[in-house]
Amino acid sequence: MLAVGMAQGTAVAKPASPAAGTGARAAAADDPYTQAFLTQYGKIKASANGYFSPEGLPYHSVETLMVEAPDHGHQTTSEAVSFWMWLEAAYGRVTGNWAPFNAAWAVAEKTIIPQHADQSTAGSYNPSAPATYAPEHPLPSGYPSALDGTVKVGTDPLATELAASYGTMDVYGMHWLMDLDNVYGYGNKPGTGGESGPGAGASFINSYQRGAQESVWETVPQPTTDLFKYGGPNGYLDLFVDDASYAKQWKYTNAPDADARAVQAAYWAYRWASAQGKAGEVAASVAKAAKMGDYLRYAMFDKYFKRVGDCTDPASCPAATGRDSQHYLLSWYYAWGGAAAGSGGGWAWRIGDGASHQGYQNPLSAWALSNVPALTPKSATARGDWSKSLTRQLEFLTWLQSSEGAFAGGCTNSWEGRYSKPPAGTPTFYGMAYDWQPVYHDPPSNNWFGFQAWGMERLAAYYHETGNATAKAVLSKWVAWASSETTVGADGSFRFPSTLNWTGKPDTWNPASPGGNAGLHVTVVDYANDVGVGAAYVKTLTYYAAKSGDEDAAALAKALLDAMALNATDKGISVPETRRDYNRFNDEVYIPAGWSGTMPNGDSIAPGSTFIDIRSWYKDDPDWPKVQAYLDGGAAPTFTYHRFWAQAALALAFAIYAELLVEGGGGPGGDTEAPTAPAGLTVTATTSSSVSLSWSAATDNVAVTGYDVYRNGVLAGNATTRTFTDTNLAAATGYSYAVAARDASGNTSALSAAVTATTKSGGSTGTGAVKVRYRNSDSSPGDNQIRLGLQVLNTGSAPIDLSTVKVRYWFTSDGGPSTFSTYCDYAALGSSTITHSVSAVSSPKTGADRYLEVGFTGGAGTLAGGASTGEIQLRLNKSNWSNFNESDDYSRATNTAYADASKIGAYVAGTLAWGIEP
């Protein structure tokens, strides 16, 4: 088996210099990681596995019942298309066959990049009047938003230059969302500029137009070309914009991170094909990427081309006439639209966006567009724009890096989307306000670790290609933080951060003297094993290790890649995921009073309609019974999804690892020199059932890839870092330990000097040093359940046996029976390791006559110094399901993000170690 072969000694080779072994020929498929790439590629391209639509576009996922950003698995995004382009570029490197890469670009031009018929009146665009201002609102209930022609907008400095360069006023960029099975039934087919209704064929659609709080569960999808055939009398337009009258029209939205990734893919294709002497085979596709990069500059401009910086009032903020509206970052979107053909009157509009997120930046593409001749756009100012953008992006990431190393959200030139004044004390970046959750709030946009991994993968690729010192400094800090929060078990289990929590804020940016952001902090709320995010993480570690020579990063990349490979399915690599958010199928979709309309399948749209009401076709999905059972009170459904972007990212992780850390340093088997023996083996902590060890790094002529830990002469386990905790030991017992190092070819060092350790007696580790963090998961204090999230953190340096820890949350029973039911809906450590019960307070106090006690089984193990249990989601109810009044409960607070909770007690071995009892 592939995974076994990798685990048995085909490990990381010496990090390659960028000049050596980077694609000078089609890669030999004689190492297991290249073979893993080809196996994964074959699964993705196998027609029986169902990754591609009849038009040849990748679905968002193989499975159809899928709600996240797209609200159906057989939609696609420009993100998926960009990953497809990159996948085919890697295939070209490995095989020398560039036809699939060129085919991906050809399909994109026929489908997801709107053709002239799809933007037929683009020639009516007036750069001096790019769009009419409409303020954004925080909630969907604030819409439709009234157009306001009294607010001055700036001048578009790009349109004339782009038209001169390409001979057209059409925009060349990918629209972000398509309905490939036409489940909605709009029939807004590429190349037609119309609506053909239900039936086969891909269809342009759009969603997300009603403020930062609008989640996918609250959207009203609509066709990009709205001819008033569906929806209400004005189609769907009057759900979003309040105007005196409405015209049939087309409109498209671009996701800049996807177009930038397409440019990135073209860069790799050009570099690899050039090394093979085949640059001419990809030249036409690379030129298309350069053109896309030309138009992508719209993402660098304020939404209404107003002045960037200190823009805190829509009336007084100046309308820019030149580059004063350019912030040079990659913002969340740009968009364009115009009158439908034949609707009477010619007009068109374009907007940028003033909100920028750290996870959208792409220094590699900015560098390629400003430094690689084959990718230099035609427009006269494009190269200079991208050169300045590169510098600005590096500054942006430096500004947002927390004390720990992770990156906070971003900034905006238009607070709340309507040029409001930010709260006093808000830091700024070139006059733009810091926003910890730019663009969307449900869930907060920067709480997902995936945006960290995606962004750092691009930065690491840029560092690998250029050796930029700023990029290295930022990456080194991030890699150290992420690595410290990552575990890979000897059994192939793995986990890394999933949800993050932010406190504090960065210093206001000073280019001459950047601040240290001492007050900006991140904590990990919970952990996950998402293979798509893991693939981006591996790519980051691989690029970074290959350039810097960081052996720990290289070893962690290998360990994660090998662990993920153990989760192979017949369609790719995937892990099961439980979708508790699918209780939101019954969420209400806001529809203004008095508005009514009809979806193409006849579903009614009216005030009170829910997500599923306007998507009744979901009830015909073969997986719907699992969701319905959950909505009826059963367990949350579990799915094993195969998202195209994630599967492509995994294939790419194998290929990039093979290129940079196997091929570049010589394949396995050529090295016969063993590493040096590890030195400095030390016992760092003991409990009644565990011993923790650390040691200094061994060295090797190629690379050290792992360590073997021996207890009393018998192998106790393996480590990819220089620490190890041996668990499940007997109390009050002495043990002897030694460590050996391994290299890429399986050579093993001599054993280190031995150390001895004696476990503590009994089951207690003393009072310990812990704290409890809490978040309120229940917005209604008067319903029949109490819902909360908890985390336990070890604030000391020694590990704590979790079986000795108890947490108490005090509340009032508010009458009713004396019996309660308690539940653990989720725990990062596993729900089966959590105990929970309700007890009466011996002497009731104000706000407390009961307490929920949460504990841990022996299977929870130990909690290392500085570590967190991750999230524990809990709820309880009275046996007769009568209501609570939580507003006066002692331990309850209103914070919905994790924060220290002094009114929740934590006890270690029966002694209060945290909190204040009532």
Chain-centroid distance, C-alpha 513: 31
List, as own/partner pairs, every contact residues 431-437 make where C-beta atoms lie below 8 angstroms and the sequence separation is at least 24, other chains included: 431/308, 431/309, 431/310, 431/311, 432/308, 432/309, 432/327, 432/354, 432/356, 434/408, 434/409, 434/410, 434/505, 434/506, 435/355, 435/409, 435/410, 435/411, 436/408, 436/409, 436/502, 436/505, 437/212, 437/409
CA dihedral 257, 258, 260, 261 (to 10 degrees): 110
Query: End-to-end CA distance of the chain, in Å?
Result: 58
CA dihedral 23, 24, 28, 33 (to 10 degrees): -20
Indicate which residue of 226, 491, 825, 900 is catalytic: 491
Q: Which residue has the tokens 């038009």?
A: 55
* Angle made by CA atoms 469, 655, 653, in degrees to the nearest 5: 65
Residue 132 to residue 319: CA distance in whole angstroms: 12
Q: Are 311 and 324 in contact (CB under 8 A)?
A: no
The beta-strand segments (E) located in 405-493 are 410-412, 428-429, 432-435, 487-488
Q: The tokens of 867 are what? A: 């570590």
Residue 36 to residue 42: CA distance in whole angstroms: 10
Q: Are 901 and 916 in contact (CB under 8 A)?
A: no
Residue 370 corresponds to which amino acid?
Answer: S
Residue 795 to residue 563: CA distance in whole angstroms: 30
Residue 486 to residue 528: CA distance in whole angstroms: 10
Q: Are 339 and 347 in contact (CB under 8 A)?
A: yes
Q: Which of 473, 334, 324 is nearest to 397 (CA)?
A: 473
Strand ranges across the sheet with 691-694? 682-686, 691-694, 723-726
Q: Which residue has the tokens 């580059």?
A: 323
Strands 521-528 and 704-711: unpaired
Residue 516 corresponds to which amino acid?
Answer: G
Number of H helices, E strands in the chain: 15, 40
Q: Which of 458, 413, 831 is nearest to 652 (CA)?
A: 458
Residue 551 to residue 7: CA distance in whole angstroms: 18
Q: Are 125 and 289 in contact (CB under 8 A)?
A: no
400 by DSSP, 3-state: which? helix
Q: The tokens of 409 are what? A: 């959200």
Please state the φ and ψ torsions of residue 641, each to the nearest 5 degrees: -90, 150
Q: Is 747 left (phi over 0), alpha (psi -120 to 50) or beta?
A: beta
Chain-centroid distance, C-alpha 504: 22
Q: What is the CA radius of gyration of the chain?
A: 28
Residue 530 among the catalytic residues: no
Q: Which residue has the tokens 């210099």?
A: 17
Read off the DSSP letter of residue 162.
H
Residue 10 to residue 22: CA distance in whole angstroms: 19
Residue 94 to residue 655: CA distance in whole angstroms: 8
Q: Which of 542, 528, 545 is nearest to 493 (CA)?
A: 528
* Angle made by CA atoms 273, 276, 279, in degrees to the nearest 5: 40
Residues designated as active site: 491
